[in-house]
Amino acid sequence: MSVSAAATAAFTEAYGTEPAGLWAAPGRVNLIGEHTDYNDGFVLPFALPQRTVAAVGPAPDGRWSVCSTLTPDPVTFGVTEPGEVTGWGAYVAGVVWALRDAGFEVPPVRIALASDVPLGSGLSSSAALESSVLTALIDLGGLDVPLERRPALAQRAENVYVGAPTGILDQSASIRCQEGRALFLDCRSYRIEQIPFDLAAEGLAILVINSNAPHQHVDGEYGERRKSCEAAAAALGVPALRDVSTAELDDALRRLDDDVLRRRARHIVTENQRVLDTVSLLRSGRVREIGPLLTASHASMRDDFEITVAQVDVAVQSALEAGAYGARMTGGGFGGCVLALIDADRAEATAAAVAGAYEERGFTAPTSWVAVAGPGATAL
């Protein structure tokens, strides 16, 4: 059954009527630029074809209800404040709250969700959920919310209502990405550039390898990294680490007296530059040449930002040994997925090499697929 059919069936089953419409929003792969978003820096995600579909219809009782294929019993709530709805329903209540808090009249609706975005794998399943619901509420309510404002509303739902201190990467990707493009986003100005990203035309592919490693300590470690970056920026007297260039890096590192802060800052400053270098290469069609930047990004996340785990390091290493031009973990870290830039005809061989390396080490088997850049959030 397609994801749309699953969402429609869940809606009918839960509410005994047909939905008024379907809205979809994708997960994402971040090509490069990790943990740079909350440092006012640069990111370069593209949308996955995998997405969350929200089947939505009016709610006669004036409240909001949401269920999913995984949780068929609806969670129902009225007007709430952060903290009042907990668990996964908080992502939906948070979107309603963020829109209302911004002054919009939000229509009461019933929602059923279905998704083929792998959960908890660093592919932004929560942003896909938020963005599908946000888009549905905006369309059904006839709300005047321009596209460029939407990611910050979904991010606020996550930051303030759900309580996760994430940046704006995932919601921007889910809402603003376009098919066949990577989204170059300046997380300070929200300026975007849609970068053509048609790898098949170059005989290339991005292989996504889900490490299937259990996520551990994700929330606490993420918050720690964010605090370290803010502390480093404060010690250097700049608004954010975005304001330190690679030319100024050595001097900045000398001025930080804490080795952990030094390494965290070095990751962010060099990662921002790697995004800019990747964008320059893509703009001039030199796609293969981004490989070493991807691999350098991984080394920086492993050694300086310390957010990788053995499974993702092994996936990167074995993809490179199998001939990948470059490979890196994508997403927040502590598990999740790796992407590898490969010749299109090497997908099976690369996936098999990684699977073999996992088997040797007794890791849970990985799951791999070729990802192409899909569309952003939309009514279906």
Which residues participate in catalysis according to the annotation? 170
Question: Is residue 304 at the binding interface for ligand GAF, with CB under 6 A as the rule?
Answer: no
Binding-site member from 166, 272, 297, 350 for ligand GAF (CB under 6 A):
166
> What is the nearest approach in angstroms of ligand GAF to the Cβ of residue 173?
9
> What is the nearest approach in angstroms of ligand GAF to the Cβ of residue 43?
7
Question: Is residue 331 at the binding interface for ligand GAF, with CB under 6 A as the rule?
Answer: yes
C-beta closer to ligand GAF: residue 108 or 326? 326
Binding-site member from 136, 169, 253, 342 for ligand GAF (CB under 6 A):
169
C-beta closer to ligand GAF: residue 150 or 346? 150
Question: Is residue 44 at the binding interface for ligand GAF, with CB under 6 A as the rule?
Answer: no
Binding-site member from 37, 40, 130, 304 for ligand GAF (CB under 6 A):
37
C-beta closer to ligand GAF: residue 170 or 304? 170
Tell me which residue of 350, 41, 28, 3 sits closest to 187, measured CA to CA.
Answer: 41
Give the pairing of strands 109-115 and 64-68: parallel
C-beta closer to ligand GAF: residue 104 or 190? 190
> What is the nearest approach in angstroms of ligand GAF to the Cβ of residue 185?
11
C-beta closer to ligand GAF: residue 23 or 38? 38
> What is the nearest approach in angstroms of ligand GAF to the Cβ of residue 339?
13
> What is the nearest approach in angstroms of ligand GAF to the Cβ of residue 218?
9
Binding-site member from 41, 82, 167, 374 for ligand GAF (CB under 6 A):
167
C-beta closer to ligand GAF: residue 101 or 221? 221
Question: Is residue 170 at the binding interface for ligand GAF, with CB under 6 A as the rule?
Answer: yes
Question: Is residue 40 at the binding interface for ligand GAF, with CB under 6 A as the rule?
Answer: no
> What is the nearest approach in angstroms of ligand GAF to the Cβ of residue 126?
8
Residues that bind ligand GAF (CB under 6 A): 30, 34-35, 37-38, 166-167, 169-170, 331-332
